[in-house]
Amino acid sequence: MSWIDEIKEHYGSQAKFAKKFGVSPMAVSQWQKRGVPAERAIEIEIFDSRIPKYLTRPDLFELPTHKKVAA
């Protein structure tokens, strides 16, 4: 699922997310077209942990992996 799909699922629309996040709907639309700025990716994750930074910027942030520790 893409980050835009996550926003639509949790907020109902990009516009509702934008209002709660404190940016214009146009900003969210531009992020969808041009990519989320790195600092905004971190802010989005802090604002809503259901939208992690690795989802909005996979080119910069990796999916966390859990390593098993030997007992």
pLDDT at position 65: 82
pLDDT at position 70: 67
Question: How confident is the model over 15-55, as pLDDT tens digits?
Answer: 999 999 999 999 999 999 999 999 999 999 999 999 999 99
Domain boundaries, the chain: 3-56
pLDDT at position 71: 63
CA distances from 21 to 3, 4, 24, 65, 66 (A): 14, 14, 9, 28, 30
Select the more confidently predicted residue: 50 or 66.
50
Q: How far apart are CA 25 and CA 11, in angstroms?
A: 13
Q: Which CATH class is domain 3-56?
A: mainly alpha
User: What is the DSSP annotation of 25-59?
Assistant: HHHHHHHHHH---HHHHHHHHHH-TTS-HHHH-TT
**pTM (2 decimals)?**
0.83
**Residue 69 above 90 pLDDT?**
no
